[in-house]
C-alpha cells in the first residue's frame, strides 16, 4: 500500500484568535453579574471549530456548553466532561436517551412527550425548556404542572429570548414568564439570556447565561460593543492575474463587462467555503488596506477581483477576506450568524 504524500499548504487560511475568544468569554461572564456564563458551541463552534474553541473556553473558565444535535456531542466531550454538555434538541428516541447516559451529556427536555420518554428510560438529571413566546421548542406554560414535568430532575430551567437584539416590551415579558414558570417547576438554575440578552442587563441573567454569537466576535447590542473583540480572520491566495480588454466579461453569465483595460485577479475562495454569492459585487477583498472590488458572480471555488489598487500583486499573494461579523457594512444580505456558520470545510481544515 502506497503511503499518501503530505498535502501541500492550502490556499485558504482561517485564523482563530484564541486570546480574543477567551477575552470575550471573560467579558461576557463579567457582564452576566452574579450569573455564570456558559457557551453555545453548536454548529462546530459557529463554524470556527470545536477542537479549536472548546479548549480555549474551558481554560478561560467556562463549565457549561450547549450544542443542538446529539451528533455534536462526541467532538465536545473530547475536551470537557459529558455532564457539562447540554443538547438543546432533547430526546426523540430511546437511542437518544441511551446515548445521553453513555456520554453523560444532558438533554434539554422540550415537550411532555420528551419528558415521558426520558423518565420511562430511567430519568436522571436533565434541563427543561419553557416556551415564553418564541414558539420553537419548549413546553407551554400551561403544562408546567403536568405530572410528566414533576417527575423530572431538572437542573437548568430555561427559555429563549425572541428579540433580545431589539428594544421591545417582549423581553421583559419573557423574563417575567420564566420567573412564573420557576415558581411552579422545581429546578436548580435558571437561564434566559443569549449574547444579546446579556446586553439587556443583569435582570435577564438569572443563574446562567448562554452566549454564542458574541463569543466569536458578534455585537448584537450596542452595550456589548466595547467589550467584544474580533475572533476570526480569513485569508485567500491569488491564483492568477490577467489583463482584460474593454468589452470582455468576467465569470458566469457575464454579469460584469470590463469598461476599459483592466488588471484582475482570481482568488482561491468561493461559495463552497462560505463566501456566498450574496457577498459578491459591491464588496471587496483587501491587501494591506487596499480595497480590491469583487467582479461578477462568486463561483464555487473562486472569485475575481479588480487589481487596479494592487497592480503589484501576483499569484501566491495573500488577500484578506472580510469576516468581521461586527461590521454590518461588509455583511451585505447575510446575518452575522450566517457569516460564521456557513464557513466551509476547506477553511476549517487545519
Where in the sequence numbering do the catalytic residues fall?
42, 252
DSSP string, 207-257: TEE---GGGGT--SSGGGTTT----EEEEEEEEEEEEE-TT-EESGGG-EE
SS (H, E, C) 9-40: CCCEEEEECHHHHHHHHHHHHHHCCCCEECEE
DSSP-derived secondary structure for 118-152: HHHTT--EEEEEB-SSS-SSSB-GGGTT-HHHHT-
Q: Are strands 232-244 and 12-16 parallel, antiparallel or unpaired?
A: antiparallel
Distance of CA 118 to the CA centre of its chain: 28
Contacts of 44 (CB under 8 A, 6+ apart): 50, 72, 75, 348
The pair phi, psi for residue 59, each rounded to 5°, is -70, -25
- From residue 154, give the alpha-carbon distance in Å to each of 149, 170, 185, 228, 336: 9, 26, 9, 32, 33
Which three cell numbers, joined as nine digits, stand for 239?
A: 491564483
Cα separation, 106 vs 317, in Å, equals 47
Q: CB–CB of 68/87 below 8 Å?
A: yes
Amino acid at each position: 500500500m502506497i503511503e499518501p504524500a503530505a498535502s501541500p499548504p492550502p490556499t485558504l487560511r482561517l485564523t482563530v484568535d484564541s486570546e480574543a475568544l477567551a477575552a470575550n468569554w471573560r467579558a461576557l461572564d463579567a457582564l452576566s453579574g452574579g450569573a455564570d456564563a456558559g457557551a453555545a458551541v453548536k454548529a462546530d463552534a459557529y463554524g470556527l471549530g470545536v477542537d479549536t474553541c472548546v479548549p480555549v473556553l474551558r481554560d478561560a473558565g467556562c463549565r457549561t456548553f450547549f450544542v443542538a444535535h446529539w451528533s455534536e456531542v462526541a467532538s465536545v466531550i473530547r475536551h470537557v466532561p459529558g455532564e457539562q454538555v447540554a443538547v438543546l434538541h432533547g430526546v426523540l428516541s430511546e437511542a437518544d436517551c441511551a446515548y445521553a447516559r453513555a456520554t453523560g451529556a444532558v438533554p434539554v427536555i422540550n415537550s411532555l412527550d420528551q419528558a415521558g420518554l426520558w423518565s420511562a428510560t430511567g430519568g436522571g438529571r436533565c434541563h427543561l425548556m419553557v416556551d415564553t413566546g418564541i414558539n420553537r421548542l419548549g413546553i407551554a406554560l400551561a403544562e408546567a404542572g403536568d405530572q410528566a414535568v414533576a417527575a423530572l430532575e431538572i437542573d437548568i430551567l430555561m427559555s429563549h429570548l425572541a428579540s433580545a437584539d431589539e428594544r421591545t416590551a417582549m423581553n421583559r415579558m419573557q423574563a417575567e414568564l420564566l420567573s412564573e414558570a420557576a415558581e411552579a417547576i422545581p429546578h436548580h438554575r435558571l437561564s434566559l439570556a443569549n449574547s444579546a440578552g446579556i446586553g439587556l442587563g443583569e435582570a435577564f441573567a438569572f443563574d446562567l447565561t448562554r452566549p454564542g454569537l458574541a463569543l466569536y466576535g458578534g455585537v448584537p447590542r450596542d452595550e456589548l460593543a466595547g467589550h467584544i473583540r474580533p475572533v476570526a480572520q480569513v485569508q485567500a491566495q491569488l491564483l492568477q492575474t490577467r489583463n482584460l480588454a474593454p468589452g470582455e466579461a468576467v465569470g458566469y453569465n457575464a454579469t460584469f463587462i470590463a469598461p476599459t483595460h483592466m488588471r484582475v485577479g482570481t482568488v482561491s475562495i468561493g461559495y463552497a467555503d462560505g463566501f456566498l454569492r450574496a457577498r459578491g459585487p459591491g464588496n471587496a477583498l483587501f491587501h494591506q488596506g487596499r480595497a480590491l472590488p469583487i467582479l461578477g458572480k462568486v463561483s464555487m471555488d473562486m472569485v475575481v477581483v479588480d487589481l487596479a489598487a494592487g497592480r503589484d500583486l501576483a499569484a501566491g499573494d495573500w488577500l484578506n477576506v472580510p469576516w468581521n461579523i461586527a461590521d454590518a457594512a461588509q455583511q451585505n444580505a447575510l446575518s452575522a450568524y450566517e457569516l460564521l456558520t456557513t464557513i466551509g470545510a476547506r477553511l476549517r481544515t487545519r
